[in-house]
Chains A and B, each alone.
Chain A
Amino acid sequence: MADVGAPELRDLQSAATSHRGDRVFNRTITAAAFVALLVLAGITIFLGAQAIPVLQTQGMDFLTTSIWDPPNYGIWGMLYGSLLLAVIALVIAVPASLLLSVFMVFLAPSGVAKVLTNLVDLMAAIPSVILGLWAFYVLAPVSEQWQQLLNQYLGWIPIFQNESGNFSGTPFTAGFVLAIMMIPIVTSVTREVLGRTPPELINASEALGCSLWTMLRYVALPYGRGGLVGGVMLGLGRALGETIAVFFVIKIAFDPVNYYNIIESGGGSVATLIVSKFGEASGPYETQLLLAAGFFLFMGTLAVNVIANLIVNRTGRLQS
């Protein structure tokens, strides 16, 4: 060939050469995605703007003390309470959801599994205010009896100690309500994830003579690890943010902070703090305090999500 220069590159990617309908569609989707980001950014900026003056007047005491007594405000107890309630809810909801989804995926006849799936999905549709009312009238009295039993037989474990004899409005009951709200969310994700265990891996473990338990432990759970943690995080998101249902059953207590006596009356969470104080806020400053509290709850939730993502994305530890 006589032509020794660099060959002229053809235009492959520019908009001019692509299909027009595609172009419009792609831009619409991109715009929609940006709207979601804008909303998130808007909320963050709005809440952040409320938090700055609060930190200026209250200082770091706003985050490190637990008090709601003008002119002193501190949300430490509520921030900690959000976490405590979430942990209690996780401890109850995660095993329950896993067992439920293992049953639906590996044990139940397909008809039963379908009915159960629909029922569990329906559970997710119960408005939280209804659950809250139910918790207040039905669950809370029963829960007091359970807690008395826990205290009676397991009272030697610090978390089951109760000095006051008052078992109402405890973190345990609130966490239990949260667990009930988490179960449908976590179950529907874990069921999907376990259901996608490749059949050839199940075959392999069956042919190696393993039981359902060992198959789950060494094959299905490690295979679905990322998705399972994702499901738990989704549930945790609900637990951290849920307001009304918790508000019905917990007795908000700032001081002393109830660190671990989960069957002792008194506790709280940032979300319940906001709902309980918002209606009777004494003025714009108290409203601002509540919005600032919301900002830190939001940051906390974000931090939990980031940490969870790091755990999931960490290069998988291989079993040797």
Chain B
Amino acid sequence: MSTAEYEDVSMMEADLAMTAATSARTEMETRDVSVWFGKRKVLEGVNIAFPKNTVTALIGPSGCGKSTFIRTLNRLHELIPTAALAGEVLYEGNDIYSPEVDPVHIRLKIGMVFQKPNPFPSMTIRGNVLSGLKLSGMKRPNHDDIVEQTLTAAGLWNEVKDRLNNAAGDLSGGQQQRLVIARSLAVNPSVLLMDEPCSALDPGSTLKIEETIRELSRDITIIIVTHNMQQAVRVADNTAFFLATDGNPGHVVEQGPTTEIFGNPQDQRTLDYVNGRFG
């Protein structure tokens, strides 16, 4: 892979300039996405647009396909041997599943944070932040600056700046999760996928991560799966409600601005879910 593909500093400036002009520009979009594991269809006809530099929450009861859906957005889904997919996932207007697209490039532009904090235990804090560069062979200059910038963006810099060469495993769960966020940012993604990033964390750490999400959304697009309704209200501009009933594949029941989904839902099932009557 050539380094030219990662020459994105000037691109980012151009993006920022454009954001001012077209604030509602769509960064990612799914068109009629259906997903199978083997013969079992788990998601049907999902159409969601993710406007640039916004936070979108995906909510819904367990087993409704939210996590599966988010894994289709950076082509992690295809790493499961029986996985199949129909429809299109557009990133900057181009289908990420078209044959000429390199999945590695997609995964670098569309980063991901998982439910359980997963720093690499054999690496230092600094090593973890830079691991994406090492693992993907991506070249970016000024590693010290990247470490400081990304850890600052993840709200962890002040806590770890004096012990960057300590083991990442010594950090608390919340700190590890913020380290993992810094790690995803180090490869300079424009989208960050978060699959229940706070479900393994205490309330204090959750709050810090939520602040980080709000901060980050000024520069990147965030898509977050959450079981915590209050969290969706606190961080998300838009919300999509997923539901799977009685063995049918999951689908989007309702989507729109978070204030609408929680304040004035159009569908009875959404109303019941956001008010905690099921799920």
Contact = CB atoms under 8 A, between A and B. Distances in A.
Contact of A208 (B108, B121, B122, B164): B108
Given A198-B118, A205-B120, A209-B108, 19 more contacts: A200-B116, A205-B135, A206-B107, A207-B74, A208-B108, A208-B136, A208-B187, A209-B103, A210-B135, A214-B134, A214-B135, A218-B123, A218-B134, A219-B122, A223-B122, A318-B123, A320-B124, A320-B126, A320-B164
A204 B79 CA distance: 13
Top 9 closest A-B pairs, CB basis?
A222-B122, A210-B135, A209-B107, A207-B112, A209-B104, A200-B118, A208-B132, A209-B136, A320-B124
B167 interface: yes
A318 B165 contact: yes
A214 to B, nearest CB: 5
Interface string A243-273: 0000000000000000000000000000000
A45 B54 CA distance: 75
Nearest to A318: B124
Interface in B72-94: 74, 76, 79, 81
Given A208-B131, A210-B135, A218-B131, A203 B121 contact: no
Contacts of A53: none
A211 B131 CA distance: 13
Contact of A204 (B118, B127, B165): B118
Contacts of B79: 206
B137 interface: yes
Contact of B132 (A109, A209, A222): A209
A319 interface: yes
18 contacts: A198-B118, A201-B118, A204-B119, A206-B107, A207-B111, A208-B107, A208-B108, A208-B131, A208-B135, A210-B135, A211-B104, A214-B135, A218-B122, A218-B123, A218-B131, A219-B120, A222-B123, A318-B127
A203 B122 contact: no
Interface string B207-225: 0000000000000000000
A210 B134 CA distance: 9
A320 B165 contact: yes
A214 B131 CA distance: 10
The dominant DSSP class at the A interface is helix
A209 B133 CA distance: 9
B37 interface: no
A56 B108 CA distance: 70
A288 B106 CA distance: 70
Q: Report the interface size class on chain B.
A: 35 or more
Contacts of A204: 114, 118-120, 180, 183
B105 interface: yes
Residues of A in contact with B, size category: 20 to 34
A109 B116 contact: no
Nearest to B168: A318
A319 B127 contact: yes
Contacts of A214: 134-137
A318 B167 contact: yes
Nearest to A315: B167
A203 B118 contact: yes
A85 to B, nearest CB: 33
A310 B134 CA distance: 29
A316 interface: yes
B118 A218 contact: no
A93 interface: no
Contacts of A207: 74, 76, 107, 111-112, 114, 184
Interface string A209-226: 111001100110011010
Interface centre among A205, A215, A320 (most CB of B within 10 A): A320
Nearest to A220: B122
Nearest to A224: B122
B127 A320 contact: yes
Contacts of B74: 207
Q: Which of the listed residues A109, A208, A219, A320 has the most CB atoms from chain B within 10 Å of its own CB?
A: A208
A164 to B, nearest CB: 48
A214 B123 CA distance: 14
